[in-house]
Amino acid sequence: MEHKPTQRVLNILNLLSTNPNGLTLTEISETLDIPKSTIYPIMQTMLESNFVSIEKGTLKYSIGISAFRIGSSYSRNKYILDFIQKVMKNIVNNINETCQMGILDGNNVLYILKEDPKKDMDIRLISYIGKRIPAYCTALGKAILAQYDIEKIKSLYPNGLKPITKNTITDFHTLKKQLDIIRKTNVAKEYEEVTEFICCYAVPIQLKNNTTAALSISIPTFRINKEKEKLAIQLLLDAKDQIQNSNID
- Domain regions of the chain by residue span: 4-63, 76-244
pLDDT at 50: 84
Residue type, 211: T
**8 in Cβ contact with 46 (< 8 Å):** no
pLDDT at 122: 57
Q: Which CATH class is domain 76-244?
A: alpha beta
pLDDT at 133: 93
Phi-psi region of 91 (alpha: psi -120 to 50; beta: other; left: phi over 0): alpha
Of 54, 79, 76, 74, the closest CA to residue 64 belongs to 54
pLDDT at 17: 83
pLDDT at 81: 81
pLDDT at 75: 52
Grouped pLDDT means (10 residues each) for the chain, 249 residues = 80 86 92 92 91 89 78 61 91 95 90 84 68 94 95 95 96 96 96 94 84 91 95 97 79
Q: How far apart are CA 51 and CA 24, in angstroms?
A: 16
What's the CATH code, domain 4-63? Answer: 1.10.10.10
Give Cβ neighbours of residue 2 (< 8 Å, ≥ 6 apart): 106
Number of residues in the chain:
249
